[in-house]
């Protein structure tokens, strides 16, 4: 099963084309409001180019009546804060939402009519956002029972001081610096881990090799993110670094959850094998990580205009939360067993030391999950769009702190309570 899921992931990867130049294909869609892009932060004088082609309209229920009111089809930019008002307007089917917004253009435009009639292959609309802000781009269809199809290429960009296009949202312009800095820090920490393990190689266990692999894939993930942001800023396309990012994220995710489960069960310290419950957790988490990564790819590579786009986005968040909850169970089981052992055998002090460490590890895992899944989300939702990069920085700094703390607490040395336990068992 895991092999089939992996092949499916690679297939989706091969189809991807991560970019800030959105290619949105609407196919016989009768939704009254179709989101075409995610929120984009325009600076003053930011620009929007929409190229539309292959426009087709279809009548349902056998209606042969021609469309007479072409003003019922159009594009418009909506500030993020106006989303609630849009939802309310949609509940009133007696009026067209295009009457309540400043639309960019409608299908009544003569150039669009020429595209519909086949006189022109495509039409490109240029728009300058004078005051800047955070906007969604929507297409509205106010004609009842009239699905529509069209192919569009959407460029949203700002202009830098040298007159060059900058395809990054205003709040993302500092992301490259964040990712480059974090890549350097994770690389240094991973190198320090290798050097420490080499000096204490007689005490190194299998779990330490896995922790090294996790550090490597986390650093590679940050490197691919930094390069992806670099190329998107300049060209609007990730230039293939999106594929590297998905591959590294896939392995990093599996290694992360696996390492947490194995540390939480004392694998390779207290016992060289996994119990049935622990093995079952790992076999659940790995396929879930495959599905989560497929959801990441689909939400990143597809336009929000795709009907299932929001479903896949929610699938990713749901699966991610399930994985985070699942890895807590082995730690809780270990705490329970250690508490029972400390009351029954003659090594109460040693078990109490291990019990304290497990409790600390459990608290740190919970804090890490809470900050990266909840606090970071709240930061992205509440901060001014110009500072959206701060949420990414907080997430990476918390991740680095968690990795370093775990490495320090479970490093191979003579003071490690697990090694002491193993020595006692061997004696």
Are residues 263 and 407 located together in one domain of the fold?
A: yes
Report helix, strand or coil for 159: strand
pLDDT for position 317: 81
Last residue of one domain, picked from the residues 102, 135, 166: 166
Residue 42 sits in a domain whose CATH number is 2.60.120
Count CA within 13 A, CB hemisphere, residue 55.
Answer: 23
pLDDT for position 13: 37
Structural domain boundaries, residue 231: 170-426
Residue 9 lies in a domain: no
Residue 274 sits in a domain whose CATH number is 1.20.1070.10
Name the DSSP class of 67: P
Helices (H), 123-240: 175-199, 206-235
Residue 47 lies in a domain: yes
Q: pLDDT tens for residues 185-214?
A: 999 999 999 999 999 888 888 889 999 999
Please tell me the total count of domains within the chain: 2
Are residues 102 and 119 located together in one domain of the fold?
A: yes
Are residues 104 and 224 located together in one domain of the fold?
A: no
Provide Rg for the chain, Cα atoms.
Answer: 27
Residue 306 lies in a domain: yes
Looking at the chain, the whole-number percentage of residues with pLDDT higher than 90 is 37
Q: pLDDT tens for residues 67-89?
A: 778 888 999 999 988 877 777 77
pLDDT for position 326: 81
Tell me which H or E stretch contains 35: strand 33-35
Are residues 226 and 373 located together in one domain of the fold?
A: yes
Q: pLDDT tens for residues 104-113?
A: 999 999 999 9
Q: How far apart, in whole angstroms, are the C-alpha atoms of residue 409 and residue 416? A: 8
pLDDT for position 402: 95
Q: pLDDT tens for residues 119-147?
A: 999 999 999 998 889 999 999 998 888 89
Count CA within 13 A, CB hemisphere, residue 158.
Answer: 19
Are residues 218 and 186 located together in one domain of the fold?
A: yes
CA 41 to chain centre: 18
β-bridge mates for residue 55, sequence order:
none
Q: Range with the lowest mean pLDDT among 256-270, 306-320, 359-373, 410-424?
A: 410-424
Residue 14 lies in a domain: no
């Amino acid at each position: 099963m895991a092999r089939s899921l992996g092949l499916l992931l690679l297939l989706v990867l091969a189809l991807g084309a991560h970019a800030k130049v959105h290619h949105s294909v609407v196919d016989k869609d009768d939704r009254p409001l179709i989101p075409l892009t995610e929120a984009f932060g325009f600076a003053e004088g930011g620009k929007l180019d929409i190229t539309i082609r292959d426009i087709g309209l279809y009548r349902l229920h056998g209606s042969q009546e021609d469309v007479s009111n072409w003003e019922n089809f159009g594009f418009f930019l909506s500030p993020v804060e106006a989303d609630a008002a849009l939802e309310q307007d949609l509940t009133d089917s007696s009026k067209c939402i295009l009457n309540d917004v400043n639309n960019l253009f409608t299908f009544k435009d003569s150039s669009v009519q020429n595209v519909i009639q086949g006189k022109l292959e495509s039409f490109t609309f240029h728009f300058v956002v004078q005051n800047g802000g955070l906007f969604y781009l929507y297409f509205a269809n106010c004609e009842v029972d009239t699905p529509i199809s069209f192919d569009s290429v959407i460029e949203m960009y700002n202009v830098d001081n040298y007159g060059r296009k900058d395809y990054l949202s205003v709040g993302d312009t500092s992301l490259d610096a964040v990712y480059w800095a974090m890549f350097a820090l994770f690389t240094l920490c991973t190198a320090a881990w290798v050097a420490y393990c080499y000096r204490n190689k007689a005490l190194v266990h299998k779990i330490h090799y896995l922790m090294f692999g996790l550090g490597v894939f986390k650093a590679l993930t940050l490197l691919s993110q930094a390069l992806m942001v670099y190329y998107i800023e300049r060209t609007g396309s990730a230039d293939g670094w999106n594929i590297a990012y998905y591959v590294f994220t896939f392995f990093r995710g599996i290694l992360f959850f696996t390492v947490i489960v194995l540390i939480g069960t004392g694998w390779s310290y207290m016992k060289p094998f996994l119990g049935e419950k622990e093995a079952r957790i790992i076999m659940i988490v790995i396929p879930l990580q495959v599905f989560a990564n497929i959801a990441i790819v689909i939400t990143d590579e597809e336009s929000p205009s795709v009907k299932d786009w929001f479903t896949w986005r929610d699938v990713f968040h749901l699966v991610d939360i399930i994985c985070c909850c699942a890895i807590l169970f082995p730690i809780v089981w270990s705490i329970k067993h250690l508490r029972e052992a400390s009351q029954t055998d003659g090594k109460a002090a040693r078990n109490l030391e291990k019990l304290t460490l497990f409790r600390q590890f459990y608290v740190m895992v919970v804090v890490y999950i809470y900050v990266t899944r909840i606090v970071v989300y709240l930061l992205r939702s509440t901060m001014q769009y110009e500072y959206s990069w701060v949420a990414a920085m907080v997430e990476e700094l918390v991740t680095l702190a968690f990795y370093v703390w775990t490495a320090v607490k479970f490093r191979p040395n003579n003071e490690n309570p697990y090694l002491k336990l193993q020595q006692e068992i061997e004696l």
